[in-house]
Structure 1
Amino acid sequence: MPPAFRPSRRRALATATAALGLLLSSSLTACDGAQDTPSEGPIRLSIFWWGGEKRAELTERALQLYSSRHPEVTFQVTWQGNTGYYDRLSSQAAGGNPPDLFQIDDNYLTEYAERGIVLDLTEHVRQNRLDLTGLPPSLSQYGQVAGRTMAVAAAENTPGLIYNKSLLRRLNLPEPRIGMEYDEFVEWATQVTDATDGKVAGTMDPSADYKALWLWLRSQGKELYRGRQLGFTEADMTRWFDLWRDARSDRATPSAVVTAEANSGDVTRQLVATGKAATSFMWSNQLPELQKLTQDELGVVTYPGAPKAQWARASMYWAAFRGSRHPETVVDVINFLVNDVEAGQILGTERGLSANLDVRSYVEDTLTDQSMKLTAAFETSMVDRFGPAPTPPPRGHAKVRALLISVAESAQSGRATSKEAARAFVSEANASLAAGG
């Protein structure tokens, strides 16, 4: 049986169990929520997340493991699908009774931090009650808002360029590689289109993909956001649209009609899976799902540009309610879910790759799906190549993403020039961000 925590970094299980009573009876000098009171007796924590039945089954098993070690702690579990999740969470927050522990993503972390809903975890990290030393630096950093740790990654993910290995073998063409510059990538994609006589485009047109735009900006030392406004200019946005206008002219990408099929991000409609393009700009952990949709073998590399433009992104976070009556216990549960090997083995890769690298190594050894093994190997190989994480997006990010799709499609179809599309996007996005989304 592997150790519960990394020996050089984690608390030993016996120490953790003994320390819990001390944590419950001690006071925090800088805690946002009410303090645990040992005289209350049994502790029941509410926990809420989105996901399917498999996620629910695995999460409940992990929580049962925690309760088996800490019998005084039990859980009131609630979960649902993604649709309507934030509406329900927002209603609970408005009523002053959010769950003690809940799942959140980077679309809403900044908003919930600024509204004072989530517990500030900074002191817990500083005093090692919440251990983030086993996470890639950019992954722990991506849980910070205004320099304060407001959530912890439940798992890791990063953008991945998914490509058709089998097609490239048939065409006797090289595979895309890490670190390709964008001009080089477009030239490569044009060769693929030409080699298939236009039947398969070399690449998806990612001009509507906020991930691709963000990493393109970061490869030039800029960011998608700077506070509550865009972190780049109209001229930058025009160059972005020009890049993909020229790629369309060179037939590196398919027509606007074909591209529009995939702009929503629906995995089943991605062109690398439907056979209409040799590459798609996706999340790396979507490789297994895409692989199920095609007989061809797929591979994954980074998006074009400098690898350091990418960072270890939280696929989702665990966050605690600021007003929880049991903040120290909630923090200990987060610490357990992120750092405990047995918990990590139970949770597997359902939310993404384990945030803790040592836990991940144990989980990787148990993987049987070849596509997931490839995804895990890719993510792990990138750990030392990731750049620093940006600040999580500001409130209004979801609207900016939707706006980008709308404006990019106007450029893709020729209804607007690059400059017109860029002007509309920058103006409307900044106005939305200034208004708080």
Structure 2
Amino acid sequence: MKKRAISMMLALTMVASVMAGCANSASDTKTNSDGATTTEATDTAKTDSGEKVQLSLCWWGNQTRNDLTQKAVDLYMTLNPNVEIKTEFTDWSGYWDKLSAMASGGNLPDIIQQDYSYISQYQKSNQLADLSPFILDGTIDTSKIADSIIQSGTIDEKVYALSLGSNAPMMAYDKEIVDKAGVEIPTQPTIDELYEIGKTIYEKTGVKTYFDGGVNMVQILARTKGSHFYDEIVAGTTDATKAHFDNVQKFAEAEFAISPDLLAEKNPDVVETKPIVDQTTWNDFTYSNQFISISNAAQRELGITMYPTTADASIQPEFLKPSMFFAISETSKNKTEAAKFLDWFINSDQANKVLMAERGIPINSEVANLLRSEVDTVASKVFDFIAEVEKVATPIDAPNPAGSGEVEAQLKTTVENLRYADITSDEATQDFVAQAQKILEEAAK
């Protein structure tokens, strides 16, 4: 099996345990990628011992993800009747507070959905199990997964999480409204073009524009100059932040922009209430793995294009990102069984035919090729979009530092004040950067 970039010392120390595992349990052997042989061996071993394995799994998501994930989990339990998986999910806005409380209480679930922005924080606090041994002994098969994808969940030469799919920043738009307005959406519009497009669409249709005031947009702005948002904050630099707040203020003052009151009511952080869903706005900003869910909620044809850039960008800011990860908690008492579930979830044709790339394009190349020929027209747009992004993408930023969640919360509050015209862009910039720098300094101690 193709080994990944894991330290030689770990590989040497694993030899004895791998040999022992192969001698003592048929469940350590995988013969194909669809989970059949692994499942059969696991069931036999557990039936003989009479044990009932209980796992817990939590994730954030919307109703589409929740339904698909639960269906996949139910299938796994059917194939493995001695495994019981308790599931729990919430939306993004409350997920990290909930997970933090679980971590503080020492009762993290066995399997945790993780984000690229938070993985380093949980690893540094020793909350995540090292998956390297399970990769080395074949419990988790990575032979059809690119090294770069494995590296995205690797810290200090140990694998702490496995990506569940590849995605990229995107803007979704309503085809009906755009066509009615007689405008064309570029493959990657500039922010200035977006402003003019929004103005025209409002004049022709009366539908408003949404401009992303969150961390994704300010990170994109930093990347256009070859910089990184959090590096700028640590250094006390205001370039990307000032440009972002200028744009937020410009759009907020425009007649064609959605009002802050209506935006708060619609809540673009929740798929089912996004303003694009009921055509309050013609556009939305998120990551490509949410395109299917947004389309399902809207029940009409949506288009997909890259995140806006700037007219004077020196570097392409678009990038590929692990959509999310599955990790195993260090406190789990059933790490091996959890690893078997991860392997099935990532590599099984059965699982991925249920999931249908909702979390992003599958990381297993053979599974991705299989699904590409079977997905519907909505999912096909995501496959095509990722293929286009792959042609131009530049490397992703390093994982966010400790304290980034609090910085994002502060950014959200500042943007809201800007939209209500309670502060100016200049005031927002100075205040936010000072507070954010302090947050990161405290978190790094």
Percent identity of equivalent pairs: 22
Q: 1:123 to 1:131 in 2, by over 3 A?
A: same
Unaligned runs of 5+ in 1: 24-38
Does the 8 A contact of 1:159 with 1:310 survive in 2? yes
Correspondence for 1:240 among 244, 265, 288: 244
Q: Which residue of 1 aligns with 2:10?
A: none
TM-score for both structures, normalised by structure 2: 0.75
Distance in 2 (alpha carbons) for counterparts of 1:281 and 1:20: 40
Distance in 2 (alpha carbons) for counterparts of 1:232 and 1:419: 15
Q: Which residue of 2 aligns with 1:335?
A: 343
Q: Which has the larger displacement, 119-128 or 216-225?
A: 119-128
Answering whether residue 135 of structure 2 is matched by residue 116 of structure 1, we say no
Counterparts of 1:27-46 in structure 2 under 5 Å?
44=53, 46=55
Correspondence for 1:13 among 32, 53, 61: 32
Q: Which residue of 2 aligns with 1:36?
A: none
Q: 1:232 to 1:177 in 2, by over 3 A?
A: farther
Correspondence for 1:100 among 110, 114, 118: 110
Does the 8 A contact of 1:151 with 1:317 survive in 2? yes
For the aligned residues, what is the CA RMSD? 4.1
Q: Which residue of 2 aligns with 1:49?
A: 58
Distance in 2 (alpha carbons) for counterparts of 1:140 and 1:21: 27
Q: Which residue of 1 aligns with 2:179?
A: 169
Deviation string 1:337-387 (CA, Å, 9 cap, x unpaired) is: 21222232233345444332331332343334x333323332344334333
Unaligned runs of 5+ in 2: 3-28, 43-47
Q: Which residue of 2 aligns with 1:359?
A: 367
Correspondence for 2:216 among 208, 211, 218: 211
Does the 8 A contact of 2:73 with 2:85 survive in 1? no
Counterparts of 1:281-320 in structure 2 under 5 Å?
281-292=285-296, 294=298, 297-305=301-309, 308-320=316-328
Counterparts of 1:12-411 in structure 2 under 5 Å?
12-13=31-32, 44=53, 46-50=55-59, 54-55=67-68, 57-64=70-77, 67=80, 74-82=83-91, 89-90=99-100, 93-94=103-104, 96=106, 98-106=108-116, 108-122=118-132, 124-125=134-135, 130-132=140-142, 134-135=144-145, 139-145=149-155, 148-178=158-188, 180-193=189-202, 195-196=203-204, 199-201=206-208, 203-206=209-212, 208-226=213-231, 230=234, 233-248=237-252, 253-261=257-265, 264-292=268-296, 294=298, 297-305=301-309, 308-324=316-332, 327-368=335-376, 370-411=377-418
The count of residues paired between Structure 1 and Structure 2 equals: 406
Counting helix residues as a fraction of each chain, which structure ranks higher?
A: 2
Does the 8 A contact of 1:222 with 1:232 survive in 2? no
Residue 325 of structure 2 aligns with an amino acid whose one-letter code is Y
Return the offset for 1:162: 0.8
